[in-house]
Structure 1
Amino acid sequence: MQPTGGSVGAFIAAVTPERRRRDAETLTALMQEVSGREPVLWGTIIGFGACHYRYPTGTEGDMGLLGFAPRKAASTIYLVDGVDAHREALSGLGPHTSSVACVYIKDLEKVDLDVLRGILERSLAWAEAGGTDQMQLTVTG
């Protein structure tokens, strides 16, 4: 995946429904604060920073260090270190669902933003430390 350019502000302004747009504005501010990086569009994902990943199998690519996508059903938050690394913290987050590397939040006003901030900070620190033997990361932006 590569940054696609475009205006993050215009992208967010077009997000529906209104609750998802509000959540996108909040997540953008939070991730920008946590990462110290400007938001960039990666297709329909708003990313902060960039890294190159490589698995032992040889699979490799690029992605944001932190990122989310404001989907109609829920905001999807991407965690480069995976959801399992945050199981304990996620138990205190509030209403959400998850998959291997994504947390889905339908209404950001119903979750604990301090818990979310901690999850994002730990995920970013893991990525900036270079990942693990199972997924090596190199920060590129």
Structure 2
Amino acid sequence: MATQNKTTETEVSVADFLANVDDEQKRADSFRLVGLMSEWSGFEAKMWGPTIIGFGKYTYQYASGHGGTAPMIGFSPRKPAFSLYVYSPTDKSRPLLDELGKYKISKACIYVKKLADVNIDVLKKMCLESIAYLHEHHECACREK
């Protein structure tokens, strides 16, 4: 039986959530990311679960039967580092990692301490490539744009 996705879009205000980010630099970087990702995606920021800020959405389905809806791109201003949900493993995205700047990566996201550590132009390319990948491989809101 398929399980329910815990991270879903909410009605919580992004501005209210960010106003409670303790670290002043992280809060300023967060508001900048909201502006940039909104511009790049064409979608306004929405809260997903209690801590993720997402832009647009797509539907996925795994062979196991598990599926759900997730933001096309997004981030979370966590205490140790930003979690950036902007990466799809494509032939165009992989080389961009070499140009991104100072980061760590896991299967699902890229971790950066502050925006000054990364090349914003490269981050934009990664976001656009991820949106293009989702458009090609999933049902997503990007088809409406």
TM-score, structure 2 as length reference: 0.86
Matches within 5 A, 1:48-59: 48-59=55-66
CA distance in 1 between partners of 2:27 and 2:117 (Å): 15
In the alignment, structure 1 residue 34 sits paired with structure 2 residue 40: yes
Q: In structure 2, what is the equivalent of residue 15 of structure 1?
A: 21
For structure 1, the 5+ residue unaligned runs are: 132-136
Aligned match for 2:10, one of 4, 10, 35: 4
Amino acid of the structure 1 residue aligned with 2:13: S
Tell me, yes or no, if the aligned pair for 1:82 and 1:101 is still in contact at 8 Å: no
Do residues 113 (structure 1) and 120 (structure 2) align? yes
Residues 1-141 of structure 1 aligned to structure 2 (within 5 Å): 1-43=7-49, 44-79=51-86, 81-82=88-89, 86-129=93-136, 131=137, 137-140=138-141
Question: Cα distance, 1:13 vs. partner?
Answer: 1.1
SS for the counterpart of 1:114 is: helix
Gap change, CA 1:83 and 1:19, over 3 Å in 2 = farther
If each structure's strand is expressed as a fraction of its own residues, which one has the higher value? 1
Which piece of structure 1 moves more, 74-83 or 57-66?
74-83
CA RMSD in angstroms, aligned pairs only: 1.8
Structure 1 residue 84: Cα displacement:
8.2
- Cα distance 1:82–1:22, how it changes in 2: closer, same or farther (>3 A)? farther
Deviation beyond 4 Å, 4+ runs, structure 1 = 82-85
Residue 5 of structure 1 aligns with an amino acid whose one-letter code is: E
Cα distance in structure 2, aligned partners of 1:59 and 1:118:
30
Report deviation, 1:42: 0.6
Give unmatched runs, 5+ long, in structure 2: 1-6
- 1:125 and 1:7 map into 2 onto residues whose CA distance is 27
Q: Percent sequence identity over matched residues?
A: 39
Aligned length: 135
Q: 1:127 to 1:80 in 2, by over 3 A?
A: farther
**2:4 aligned residue:** none
Q: State whether residues 7 and 41 of structure 1, in contact with CA within 8 Å, keep that contact through their aligned partners in structure 2.
A: yes
